[in-house]
Every structure is written in structure tokens, then in C-alpha cells.
Amino acid sequence: MKSRSLFGAMIASLFLANAASAGQVWINSGQVVGVSHQSTVAHSKYRLSNSAFDMSIDNGAGTGVAGQYIAANLGAIAQLNNVTFNFVIEHIAGQGLIFRMGSQSESISETLSWGDFSNAPAGTSVTELGGESVGRSFNSLHIEARATAGNSTITFNDLMFTSALSVADGSFYDGSVSHTSGGSGEIAVQELFAGADLSTIDWTLTGQVMGFRTGVGGGLDEDIRFVVGQRMVEFTLSSVTAIPLPTPAALAAAGLLAIPALRRRRCS
């Protein structure tokens, strides 16, 4: 009886470990290694443009081709420089993705959404982008702040991920990236990895972002931006050792191989 209890405990620990990982996320964690990008299913982007759009949602293909994205214009450079925006990226499982931005003074605000919602959000909303419906699987958020145009800066702070999942390790950080006249610019990347399919879970990512640029040419628009990508990746946890199935030798040492024989004797 003791041997069978030991075997049951070993199997139970294996399933409990997998279940725990499925309910957790890792944020900028050194425990996540061996990341392999498989696909991108969406981007939510803020950038500083003088005459074109400033915020967008795309289907993972970017904003280079019409029909693959929806967008909104928040204002010219003079209206956006050094203005702090609160942003909310909200995913409602089975319905869609909502991206909201509003200045702290609330004088500038826009909402974009992609999906089929029971309560339609305000602003611009579409059910498909480039023939794609929302709902493709993903398990990570890739957050990039970029300032690679001359004399530009992107500042980000108070990032927070809210869901039913618990944080196993790590946290977001506040910071800024900038380009000086003598440098090549900076890019900051933060990453969240989940042990579950985030397309099946309600979650929100919130925070604040502020940008600055001196040049007004349209060719610089993609060089000052803050982007959140929803990605499917493969990754490994360095701190988690896989629990192997016991070998016949180990079972024999524990006396477990004798259990079937004992059962046959009792039944004969």
C-alpha cells in the first residue's frame, strides 16, 4: 500500500506541476530561456506622426498594407509632444481586442477594436482584418519602445497586466529610450510569457506612454513608437526540472512491479 501511495504521489506531482504552469505568467523573467517565435497574431501600436495615424491595431502583418489594420489620428506633433497618455489594451475571450488611449487631461482620446462584441465599444470597430478574425492562439506579449529618429524619446511607466493568471516570476519596469544627435537610438523590449493560451483568457495591459520628436517628416513615423505584439512562442523554464516517468528499475526498487503480480495471485 505504501508503494502504491508513493507512485500516486509521483504522478500527482507531475500533473500538479503542469497545472501550476498553465495558471502562471513570467514577466521579464530570467527563468524563461530558449524562446522560439512561431507567429504574431496582433499588434497594438502608438507612434508620433505629424499627419498620418498615431494609434493602430493590426492582424500581425503590420501597418504597411491597407486592410490589415485599423487606425486613428490623435493629432499633429505639436499636440502630441511630451503629452502623457494612459493606454488600455483589453482582450475579451471569445469576443475581441480593444485598444484605448487618452491623454491625462482627457482632451485627446480614441478607441479601436477588432472582434465581435456583445457590447460594441465606442470608436472604430471591425470584425475582420485582412480576412482574419480575432481568436488565433498566442501565449506571450512582446512590448517594444523605440526611439531611433534624431532627437526623439519614448517614455513608458506603470505597466500592469491583469488576469486570472498569477505571476510566477518577474515584473515590468519603467524607463525611456532616446536618440541623441551622436547616437543611433535605443530600443527597449519587455516580454510576458504565459503557461496558457492567452486567446482563451480575459486580460488587460495598462500603462502610460509619452513621446517626443523634433522632425515632422512622415518617413520618421515608425522610428518613434510603442508597440505591444501578441505572439505564439515556444519557451523553456530554466528553474523547472521535468519530472521523468519512473524507469522499470526504479519501479522495481520501490516494489511497484510486484503489484500486478500480487493482484493476479489474489484473483486466481
Dump pLDDT digits (tens) for 204-263. 999 999 999 987 777 889 999 999 999 999 999 996 543 344 445 544 544 544 444 434
SS3 192: strand
Residue 131 Rama label (left phi>0; alpha psi -120 to 50; beta)? left
Mean pLDDT of 72-82: 95
The DSSP call for residue 155 is: E
CA distances from 239 to 109, 167, 168 (A): 43, 15, 11
Assign residue 123 the CATH number of its domain. Answer: 2.60.120
Max mean pLDDT range (19-23, 78-82, 219-223, 246-250): 78-82
Strands (E), 116-165: 124-126, 128-129, 132-133, 140-147, 152-163
Q: Does residue 90 sit within a domain? A: yes
Q: How many domains in the chain?
A: 1
| Predicted model pTM | 0.82
Kindly state whether residue 176 falls inside one of the protein's structural domains.
yes
Q: Is residue 261 part of a domain?
A: no
In a domain, 174, yes or no: yes
- Rounded Cα gap, residues 160 and 162, in angstroms: 6
Q: Is residue 5 part of a domain?
A: no
- Grid coordinates 465581435 are at which residue? 116
Averaged confidence pLDDT in the chain: 85
Q: What is the pLDDT of residues 52-67, one digit of tens each?
A: 999 999 999 999 999 9
% pLDDT > 70, the chain: 79
Q: Is residue 149 part of a domain?
A: yes
First to last CA, the chain: 20
Q: Which domain holds residue 40?
A: 26-243
Specify if 16 maps to a domain. no
Query: Could you give the CA distance from residue 245 to residue 33 in angstroms, rounded to a whole number?
Result: 23
Residue 91 lies in a domain: yes
